[in-house]
Each structure stands twice: as C-alpha cells, then as structure tokens.
Amino acid sequence: MARVPPQLIETLRQSREVTVLTGSGISAESGIPTFRDAQTGIWAEFRPEDLATPEAFASNPRRVWDWYAWRREMVSEAQPSPGHGALARMARTLSGFNLITQNVDGLHQRAGSKDVIEYHGNIMRDKCSVEDVVVERPAPGDEVPPRCPACGGMLRPDVVWFGEAIPAAALESAQLAAERCDVFLSIGTSSLVYPAAGLMEIALRNGATLVEINPAQTPVTKLAEFALTGTAGAILPQLSAALLEPE
C-alpha cells in the first residue's frame, strides 16, 4: 500500500478548493458489486442492454424493476466503508470541498458527506418514466412496477441508464467543480467512462494538481502528480488523519 507523501498533505492544506471524483472501487469495499459483477445467479444470462436501458424498460419493465429491487436490497444492507467516512471528515477539514460520485448507492451521504453531486443518480429514489420527476413510491401493491401517483405512468429507478444523458444539474455542477479546483482526486474509478472521465481533463487544463488513488493503473496514472496505489479504504483514512495533525 502506498504511503501518503508529505508533499500531498501540504498541497491539500494550501489548496483553495478540492474536487473529488469517486467510482465503483470505493463502494466495492462496502460489498456492493460493480454493475457487471452483479450480473450473477439468475441475472447472469442477461446483458447490460437487457437490464439498464430505456429500451429494456419499455420491452420488459417488470424484469428491469425486479433487477433494481434486488440491487436496492444489497445497497440497503451495505455500510459505508472507511474511505467513505474519511472523505466526509476531509470535507470538514479543507476550506473548499466538492464531492462527485459515479455511484448510485448513497453511501457517501450515509457516511456524513453533504451536497454530493450524484452524477448517475441514486438507486434508492424513484422517478416517473413519463414526467421525469422524482416521486414518492406509493404503498406496496400488486402492480410491478408501481405507478406514478400523479399521472399513472410507470415508476423507474432514478439512475442514468446506458444511452441516457447525465442530468443537466449534475453535469453543470461537476464541470464547474472541475474547472475551479486546484486539486482533483480521482478515487476508485477506471477513468474510462465518459463524460465522467473528462472531468479530470477539465481540471488539468485549468492547472489543477491531479491525484489518483486506485489499486491498479488507469489511463490517468501517468498524468497524476500523485498516484497512490491501494484501496480508498486503506489510503483515505491516512490522508484524513494527516490533515488533522498539527503543521
């Protein structure tokens, strides 16, 4: 496991604004499988296109709803990892802090993080498939998926499916956070999926120091001024603790 360089601690202490992007790696430490890793058991025969696209929902809404109900159960039983907790503490320590996550599990909020930019939505919320607005799920009934109380349209998870655009508010907030930060941390993400991967490019163009925390090398590793090899749960608590030490 990589040790946290003192130069990184000093860079963070001197920063005006820090932006963090987290990916599936940090939630894997809480026992939540990545999307493709979750295609096991009765779901192993299905492709992502069968379970997480608007076309899949239109073709077989019950199958899609049941797949997400199974994943929601896993999420509800999971607990935030040490990495989630460390980021919440760092937000209270640093002067300016923005947290963007590609994960849909809400574990950052459960660990105490505030104002999280949910780039891909949140699996624990529902929205109307017709009106595209978040709604409260009605009391359990026989109909699957349940219906929107306002218009009667089918409810769906409030997540970004393959082929869908990132919600405009999240996209704008994330891009602004990448533009104005002077330190950008990429944590537990493959750096392959756009447009999220483009946030690091925005930060670099605007002169930010790039930090990567990941067990394996990614396309970003060679661009990072600090590339720490290891898991978020091992490295972020070190980082958080060092920031609290007297200078």
Q: Which residues are part of the catalytic machinery?
A: 120
Residue 133 structure tokens: 């607005």
Annotate 175-197 with b (16+ C-beta within 10 A) or e (fewer): bebbebbbbbbbbbbbbeeeebb
Written as one string, the DSSP assignment of 36-63 is TTT--GGGTT--HHHHSSHHHHHH-HHH
Query: What does the DSSP assignment read for the chain?
Result: -PPPPHHHHHHHHH-S-EEEEE-HHHHHTTTPPPTTTT--GGGTT--HHHHSSHHHHHH-HHHHHHHHHHHHHHHHH----HHHHHHHHHHHHSSSEEEEES--S-HHHHTT--S-EETTEEEEEEEETTT--EEPPPSP-S-SS-B-TTT-PBEEEEEPPTTPPPPHHHHHHHHHHHHH-SEEEEES--S-STTTTHHHHHHHHTTPEEEEEESS--TTGGG-SEEEES-HHHHHHHHHHHHHS--
